[in-house]
Amino acid sequence: MKTVEIKPDIYWVGVIDWAIRDFHGYVTPHGTTYNNFLIKDEQVTLVDCVKHEFASTTIGNIKTLVDPSKVVNLIVNHIEPDHCGAIGELMSFMPQATIYITERGKKGLERYADTSSWTIKTVKSGDTLNIGKYTLHFLETPMLHWPDSMVTYVKEAKLLISQDAFGQHLATSQRFDDEFLGCYPLFELEDAVKDYYANILMPFGQLIKAKIAEIVKLGLEIDMIAPDHGIIWRGNPGKIIQMYLDMADGKADLSVAIVYDTMWHSTEMMTIPIMEGIKDEGVGCKVITLRASPMSVAIKEFWKARGTLIGTPTLNNVIFPSVAEFLYHVGGLRPKNRLMGAFGSYGWGGGGVKESYEVIKKMGLEVFEPGIQVIYKPTAEDKLKCYEFGREFARKVKEYHKKFE
Ligand code: FEO
């Protein structure tokens, strides 16, 4: 694969993974990239590795620039296997290289690879490494995305190599945001950023805000942000920082997501008048059928909307399993600044809607009550009630949304 010089003597030597559709359970319809960077300085330095199956690709890329045995420093910003899976094969080509990694990274790496013959130096925030004309500054970013994580700032190049942060699962022939936007609409890039954030970084919003504030306080001049996934922010790095600040604050569209599943179509029949009620209040509404949609798509649509209604049948007096999976998944992502309610059908006893509210309340989100339930199959009268329920929910979403304008 052709390497790309992103800054003088700093090269992208990564991999485009066009084919991946399941990224540890997370659906990636647009593939991804594993970005790593070779710095041809007095001390040849590699920043980050790639996934195991692409070891030979990145080694081939490096060989077009230098003999891999000349690499003397390997910076490991993050040990998750999509970045570190190839480290064993890479180190077999550069056995003399010194690995720079956080203390927690070293402990984790020792679990993933046989490190006994490698030279490893641990670094912490504020540590630097001069490699010639460039100086690398390390900044720990614990939990962004794992406890070991750090970023590497190349001062003289005004380049932040940010590992997972600011990334997107997006396989493209373009390497930079300005190139991508010359070929594709902005929406595609923004949607990929939101998808990645919603599914991976949503729980860490406050940490993200604090880390961005720390970078601002340090006065780091940044004119390029190079994440380990997706496009590199060259044309407008400020855009991705602002997007992250907005997402960390729980910014959402004035819209509603209806996330539901159904057994004999009764709950499904309720979604239509509810959606029409929402629409007639002038609020956009997307209906996500859990049985037909990957979980990560439902999570993204939940995250983009200010309000979400959960639709569940009752099965054995509790929530329908796919809806329970969605709610518990959302709960683990610790969302904020969202309004939620629930509706559903039952045959006898009920319980699904009641339990949905119990789970929603545990998330600490704004709650729209009461929910609406129908027995067996909605009648024409029930459908009218569903329509009014949708209208009322949309009115409450509009009112709640004003708090964030
Ligand atoms: Fe792209 Fe946390 O790994």
pLDDT digits (tens, 9 = 90+) for 262-276: 999 999 999 999 999
Place of tokens 């190079």: 226
For ligand 1, atom 3: residue with the closest CA: 80
Rounded Cα distance between 11 and 8, Å, is 8
Lowest mean pLDDT among 7-16, 17-26, 117-126: 17-26
Position 147 scores a pLDDT of 96
Position 276 scores a pLDDT of 98
pTM for the complete prediction?
Answer: 0.94
164 in catalytic set = yes
pLDDT tens track for 127-162:
999 999 999 999 999 999 899 999 999 999 999 999
82 in catalytic set = yes
pLDDT tens track for 296-334:
999 999 999 999 999 999 999 999 999 999 999 999 999
Position 12 scores a pLDDT of 98
Mean pLDDT, the chain, rounded, equals 97
The yes-or-no verdict on residue 354 having pLDDT over 90 is: yes
Per-residue confidence band for 383, with pLDDT thresholds at 50, 70 and 90: very high
Mean pLDDT along residues 207-229:
95
User: What is the 65 CA–ligand 1 centroid distance (Å)?
Assistant: 26
Q: Which residues line ligand 1 (CB under 6 A)?
A: 78, 80, 82-83, 145-146, 164, 228-229
Strand partners, 367: 340
The yes-or-no verdict on residue 1 having pLDDT over 90 is: no
Q: Quick check: 349 and 380 in contact, CB under 8 A?
A: no
The yes-or-no verdict on residue 25 having pLDDT over 90 is: no
pLDDT tens track for 61-100:
999 999 999 999 999 999 999 999 999 999 999 999 999 9
Strand partners, 161: 152, 226
Q: Phi then psi for 67, rounded to 5 degrees?
A: -70, 120
User: What is the 145 CA–ligand 1 centroid distance (Å)?
Assistant: 6
| CA torsion angle 318 393 257 363 (round to 10) | -50
Strand partners, 284: 255
User: What is the 79 CA–ligand 1 centroid distance (Å)?
Assistant: 8
Position 364 scores a pLDDT of 94
Q: Quick check: 233 and 345 in contact, CB under 8 A?
A: no
The yes-or-no verdict on residue 285 having pLDDT over 90 is: yes
Residue of 17, 30, 78, 261 marked catalytic: 78
Mean pLDDT along residues 96-106:
98
Mean pLDDT along residues 188-213:
94
The yes-or-no verdict on residue 107 having pLDDT over 90 is: yes
The yes-or-no verdict on residue 198 having pLDDT over 90 is: yes
